[in-house]
Amino acid sequence: MNSRLFCFAGGKQGSWSVVKMAPVLGESLPEVARVDILNEDGPVEDAAWVLRGVTSNERYVTRGERNALVERQAAIGRPAITHAAIIPIRKNAQWWAMTQDERRAVFEDQSRHVKDSLKYLPAIARRLHHCRDLGGDEPFDFVTLFEYAAADSSAFEELVAMLRSTPEWKFVDREMDIRLVRDVYS
Amino acid sequence: MNSRLFCFAGGKQGSWSVVKMAPVLGESLPEVARVDILNEDGPVEDAAWVLRGVTSNERYVTRGERNALVERQAAIGRPAITHAAIIPIRKNAQWWAMTQDERRAVFEDQSRHVKDSLKYLPAIARRLHHCRDLGGDEPFDFVTLFEYAAADSSAFEELVAMLRSTPEWKFVDREMDIRLVRDVYS
């Protein structure tokens, strides 16, 4: 199996408890009690929904931006972290019809996606999963997983509000916001 | 099913006869007599190998380049066309570790991938399929399908030789070259 493939299964099991599930735009997903995040494919028993995605090469960042990100960012999976968010989005046909230079202009020149996100690192860790080219009829184009400490919850609210206010987000036509917590035993 | 998904099945059936199969770089694929090209997924009976890929948004071309391509290009599937080639390639880890601006610089500034291909249009039609983010363990990153008339065979040889001589091709670590013909009844 492709080690870049991740599976987000909503249902009655999994190490994350759902504290909030809300459609931001477009059709919602069924409410669930727990979410399991697996680094594999395969059927998930009793799941109300399953989102799949692969981590991949970055599509927009330049070398300078990558270096700035790598210098600051934390990896997903820090053991003491208790809070997470799963934000699946789909972009509209107009976005996908744009050429690379046009999408890059919206992503960074107009929306400052990287530049304005940098100050939230390393407190907020992020992993982007691509769904659009999996070959199936996926309900979303991307699933982003965020992890942060309870103390950084308000910084996270600020980050998502900032992203949703950008020109890039005018091309988003479906979005869910799923907030998770887990128990950490020290 | 995702209508952007295509399947290339090598075996004993299919509308295309194999006239040549050769590994250009790296491990070969088993020799077959025929190839079927399907706009769907699913198991293919008695296939010796199956390559899958999705058409997707372009990753490098600018608006100016797209306009120049669209103005000239022919679509895959012209009914009178008798010759085709399937060229699956895989790019190495160094390619995928580069940032977008670095890959674009190799693709066009150094290799003139679009600029030097334009003169072969519309005689040679091309469709690119992405395999890398399908979520499975795909043997190649891309499968490109080319179609051309018998009279344009030498132009096609020139095009593939030109591409293989570019700096971009230094990042290719596996490549097959599969040439096909079919009967066309007028």
Q: pLDDT confidence of B186, banded at 50, 70, 90? A: low
Q: Is B173 exposed, middle or buried, given 0-12, 13-18 or 19+ CB atoms closer than 10 A?
A: middle
Which residues is B20 bridged to in the sheet? B179
Buried b (16+ CB within 10 A) or exposed e, A26-65: eeebeebebbbbeeebeebeebebbbbbbbebbbbbbeeb
pLDDT digits (tens, 9 = 90+) for B74-95: 999 999 999 999 999 999 999 9
Binary contact (B101, A133; C-beta < 8 A): no
pLDDT digits (tens, 9 = 90+) for B39-50: 988 778 889 999
Closest Cα in chain A to B94: A57
CB within 8 Å of chain A, chain B residues 73-112: 96-97, 99-102, 104
A31 touches chain B (CB under 8 A): no
CA distance B34 to B47: 10
Helix (H) or strand (E) holding B67, with range, is: helix B63-72
Cβ-contact B86, B8 below 8 angstroms: yes
Please list the residues that pair with B179 across neighbouring strands. B20, B85
Q: pLDDT grade, residue B30 (50/70/90)?
A: very high
Q: What is the pLDDT of residues A36-60, one digit of tens each?
A: 999 988 778 889 999 999 999 999 9
Which of A32-46, A117-131, B14-28, B79-93 has the lowest average pLDDT? A32-46
Q: Is the predicted ipTM greater than 0.90, yes or no?
A: yes
Can you tell me the mean pLDDT for B1-28? 95
B106 phi and psi angles, rounded to 5 deg: -70, -45
Cis peptide before B122 (omega within 30 of 0): yes
Rounded CA-CA distance A186/B12 in Å is 61
Q: DSSP 3-state assignment of A181?
A: strand
A3 touches chain B (CB under 8 A): no
B53 vs A137: CA distance, rounded Å: 14
pLDDT of A13 > 80? The answer is yes
Q: Which of A41, A34, A3, A4 shows the shortest CA–CA distance to A17? A: A34
